[in-house]
């Protein structure tokens, strides 16, 4: 597969390009499990539908940062959620988080853990 370009010099991103990028990441990560990327939609849940475990989410977090920069902090995204909410996070929720993080970075956000 082709490498995902880093989008750090772009001022804004839109939901469509972020969705496509995330689907590409998921397809690559889950290739050995025969996941059909065309079946991944915005309502697809990481745990229930894709059967991703916490270690998979850690790997995805790293890919998100590589692609869109340190302002996309997955740990911060799920920090305020209860376990039950985390288990049902959807691709669409993550897309909106990435778009918001890139388009409206918080001051000093890149220095956050």
The domain spans of the chain are 15-104
pLDDT score at 3: 52
52 Cβ contact list (under 8 Å, min separation 6): 30, 46, 60
Which class would CATH give 15-104?
mainly alpha
Residues of the chain with pLDDT under 70: 1-11, 107-113
pLDDT score at 4: 53
One DSSP character per residue, 4-19 reads: PPP--S-S---HHHHH
pLDDT score at 19: 98
pLDDT score at 21: 98
pLDDT score at 34: 85
Q: How many CA atoms lie within 13 A of 81 on its CB side?
A: 13
Give φ, ψ of 41 to 5 degrees: -125, 180
CB count, 10 Å around CB of 1? 8
Cβ contact 7:68 at 8 Å: yes
Q: Could you tell me which residues are beta bridge partners of residue 90?
A: 45
pLDDT score at 98: 98
């Amino acid at each position: 597969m082709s490498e995902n370009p880093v989008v750090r010099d772009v001022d804004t991103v839109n939901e469509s390009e972020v969705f496509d990028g995330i689907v590409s990441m998921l397809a690559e990560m889950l290739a050995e499990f025969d996941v059909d990327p065309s079946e991944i939609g915005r309502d697809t849940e990481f745990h229930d539908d894709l059967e991703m475990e916490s270690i998979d989410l850690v790997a995805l977090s790293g890919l998100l940062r590589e692609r869109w920069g340190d302002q996309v902090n997955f740990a911060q995204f799920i920090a305020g959620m209860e376990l039950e909410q985390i288990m049902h996070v959807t691709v669409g929720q993550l897309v909106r988080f990435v778009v918001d993080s890139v388009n409206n970075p918080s001051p000093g956000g890149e220095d956050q853990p």
